[in-house]
Structures are given as structure tokens and as C-alpha cells.
Structure 1
Amino acid sequence: MTRAGGDAIVVSDIRKSYGDLKAVDGVSFTVREGEFFGILGPNGAGKTTTLEIIEGLREADSGSVSLLGESPWPRKVSLLPRIGVQLQASAFFEKLTAHEQLETFASLYGVSTKVVDEMLEIVGLGDKAKTREDKLSGGQRQRLSIACALVHDPDVVFLDEPTAALDPQARRNLWDVLRAIQERGKTIVYTTHYLDEAEILCDRVAIMDHGTILAMDTPNALVRGLDAPTRIMLERGALQVEQVRGFVGVDDVTEDEQQLVITTRKPAPVLGALAERGNLDGLQVRTATLEDVFLDLTGREYRA
């Protein structure tokens, strides 16, 4: 849930080009304190470059960024203790255990060993404290990387595709960690190309492609604005196509070898008619998602 407060980040018309490639092309947005803000888009959309400019890792060609009231470029030593950064590619010290890895990062900020133990528990690695980093699973390494970004208790946390390459179970375990981070009052800026998890986790999202923001709002508002139909799926043979066409609220009916698909913008009467006929077993209802919003905005297939 978004918390009341001022703007933690203000991005104004930033641009970054590499030769003829416009990696970031006039991006503007704000992130409120305590907000979980997602930057969504396919690979090559400009998400990581945008994040690196905000973090002060890369200089914009033009435009401005205010991070906690300061410009992050040139690099500000005063900002470093207040931000946590988890990059796409994490590098750890060789032959160190999870606890030793985190303790090394913590020592850079003068953080006590007690905090290290607490952080390992928060990310679900308390029982892996004595396990070497190279013996951890992919999901556990990602959680350790996030712990390293959080160990000094920063005000703003940047996470660049933290669930990339994780299996479904590891992704969902990490969602719990991210929710716990926000519950501690942190501002989270998060990039991903997984639209389903952004719809669940984020207070607001910006959808990017070709270096520009195509749309920005809460996930629910973006989906509502699409005005997309609802699709109701039944097992084939449950009802005849012509029979379903007569239901109130049905816009279209199609059938393939496996299922019958009803398209409607008034699902309530259609579902009521199906319930009266006892056809709810195995029924599936699909409403619009952020992926549908993306397809509507770009007019082409979403690239993972």
C-alpha cells in the first residue's frame, strides 16, 4: 500500500543515446516515498539505463533527476548510505558464506553483525548463513543480493529484474520478501518484464518501449482504461455454440478442439445463464491484464 509522503524521486525529461540508438528518449515520472514503483517493458526498452541514471551510475545526455532531494550525478557520497542497489548481474566474493558475504557489505557502512543476522532472516536465508555463496540456489543468491542492497537500511531500494531466471516457486518466495521490504517503509523502484508479478506487487507502473514511457498509472487503472472484453472458457461440448449465442451479454462465441470461448463485456448475465444450466464446472474466466494493455499500446507481441 502506498504511504503518504513527498516525492522520493523526480525524473524530468531524461535522455541517453549511444550513437543512433536512443536508449532513453524523454522519460519523466515521480516516485512517492514508500511507493512500490515498477518500470515494465521488454529487453531493450530502456529500463536498466533509466535506472542507472537515477542511481547515479550513468550520466544522462540531458534532463534532470532528483533523488531524495539531491542530484545523483556527479556521484554524491552523501546519497550512498541512503540508497540500496541490486543490479541484474550480482558479483560476490569467492569462497565466502552467505553470512560472510553480507557481513562484508555491512562493514562498508559500519553495520553491526546483529543487523546481518536479522537481514538474513528477513530474506529467508537464516538457515543458509554458513553456506558458501556458490552452493546457494539461484533464488537464494537473488535473495542474498537483495539483502546486500538492504543491509544498511536505505531509504530507497533499486531492484533491476530481481526475479529474472528464477523458477516459479522461487519467484513467489521472492515476492514475499519484496512485500516485507515495503512494509518496512522503503521506497522500491523495480524493473521487470514479468507483467503478472508487477500487477500483484506494484502501486504504480510505467510501461516502457523504445526508450519512452507508453503509459503510467496503477495496474488496475491501466487495465480498466483498456475496456477489454472478458473471456469465459468452457470445455468443448458443454454447450452448443448457437445455444450460447442466444445468451444476454454475449458478443462472440468461438470453439476449437478443446474449448468453447465466450467473449463478453457484460459477464454477469452470461455467468448467470451458465449457472442456471449447471455449466460452471471447469469454467475459466479471463479478464484483461497488463499484458493486454501492453499489446494494445504497442500493437505487437510482447518480447520477454
Structure 2
Amino acid sequence: MEKINNVTVFILRGLSQNPKLEEVCLVVFSFFYSAILLGNLLIILTVSMGNVLQSPMYFFLKYLSFVDICYSSATVPKMIFNLLAKTKTISYMGCMLQLFGVHFFGPTEVFLLVVMAYDRYVAICKPLHYMTIMDQDRCKKMLLGAWLGAFLHSVIETSLMLKVPFCGPNVIDHYFCDVHPMLKLACADTYAAGVVDTANSGTVALGGFITLIISYTLILLSLRKQSAEGRRKALSTCGSHIAVVVMFFGPCTFIYMRPNTTFNGDKMVALFYTIIAPMLNPLIYTLRNKEVKNAMKKLWCKKIFLKTNGK
């Protein structure tokens, strides 16, 4: 495929072309992004500064919150800026960087959710060996594996799009740069590129989803042998993770498991995994987790007490 690229700037159509609706979106998504930053930063600070939340589950939760901030920051600030601008443009290189960010932090979240499911499996099914299996060294290796796997995925996706020629038009029917909407603008046959993208992204999404299903199936089977109190506690612990998984994997699977096709509702579906899930994750993990809530109360009460005494 000969690379002929006459496009230096793309135009993002965004969620709507209605000025009044754009004003509403500006307020709503500015609030959502602020909630993402504040909620996830609160979890990071609570886990990092507290002495109670030191188990592997909270080790991974801290990094999940960090990834949520990075993932939403790859798309939301530009979307908010474009809601204020008359011409919603993004440079060719800026588009490629955004594509890299989306396909780096998105799969990182997928892999972290899989690792967290494995952590819950070990904690519930092999409680006596939990600290031996999930020791600090192994947790760090799992975290490194998640980062490296996501980086490899993102390099493949970005390299794929850098080889695609664009010679006009340059209007992307989305609020961020993604593979399927961009392939529609290519001035060459993109069948092979579409197959590679579906295989690559589909493997991440479907592979992660199948692994999660297996993990939770094994957990549910093991709960039959436990007491009613043990089942209640285990289900409560897993409930938060299941809610996050459903909210994130459902839309991702819908978007990335398809061939190179786009639907009108894709932009609305994408909001769930780029904005809604990162915003709700802190609420889900804190509202359903007494340990996190108690740690937050102790930490911030201590800060207020020290600040008051300092005066």
C-alpha cells in the first residue's frame, strides 16, 4: 500500500452538531471529568497513604484508578475543548497520539480487571495460600505484564493506522480518533487493516471476557462449600468487580468485536467505557466496600485533626 497522505488535520464531528445540545454536553461532561479526577485521585491517595489497605486487591485498585484517569484524559479534555470551539479540529499527529493513548490505557484496564479477577479467585478458592501466591513480587510482575501487553497492542494499532493513506475527506464521525471511523476515510483498500484491527482488539476484549467468566464460574462453584456468612462476604467482595466488568466489557465487546463497520450509536456506546466507567469505578468500589470507606474516614479525619492542631 503506497502511503499518500494529503491530510494534515482531521475534523471531529463530536456527539452532536446542535449548538444548544453542545452547551448541555459541555456542562455535563465537564462535571463527569471532574468527578473522574477527584474520585480516582481520592482512591489513589487513600490506598497510598493509608496503612490498612495493603492487600494485593488494593494494590491493583490503586493502579486501576490511575489508568482510569489516564484513559479518560486521552479523550475527554479534547472533547470538552471542541465543544467550545467552532471548528473541531485535531492534527494528524495529535490524532495518532490520541489513538495510541486510547489503545494503550483501554487494554491496560482490561488486563488489570483480569488480574483483579484472578486475585479474587485465589482469595476465595485458595484462602490459606493467598499471601503466598499473591506475594508482592508476583503482583508487580502481573502489573508489568498488563502494561507490556497493552503497549504491544497499542503499537500494533498505531503502526497499522500510520500506514493507511488519507487523501481526503478528513471528517471523523466520532468524538475521538479510533480505528474504525478513521478507516472509513482511507483512500485505499482497508480490508486487511480492518481484519488485523478486529483480530487484535477482539483478542483483547474476548480473551479478557472469557478469562473473567472462567474466574467467576470457579468462584461460584467454590462458594457452594462455604458457610452462608462466607458466601455473603465473598459475593459482596466480588460484586463491585462484577459491576465494573459488565459496565466496561459490554460496550468494548460491542465496538471492537465487529468487522470494519460503524453504527450511528457507536459514539454513545463509547461513552460508557471512556467516561461513565472511569467515573463510576470509585463510587462502586467505595460504596460497596467497608474497608475502603473506613480507611478514607480515618485518613481524612487524621488530616483534618493534624491541620486543626497545627493551627
Measured against the shorter chain, the TM-score band is under 0.3
TM-score, normalised with respect to structure 1: 0.23
TM-score, normalised with respect to structure 2: 0.23
Quick check: which has more Rg, 1 or 2? 1
Structure with the bigger RCO (C-alpha within 8 Å, sep 6+) is 2
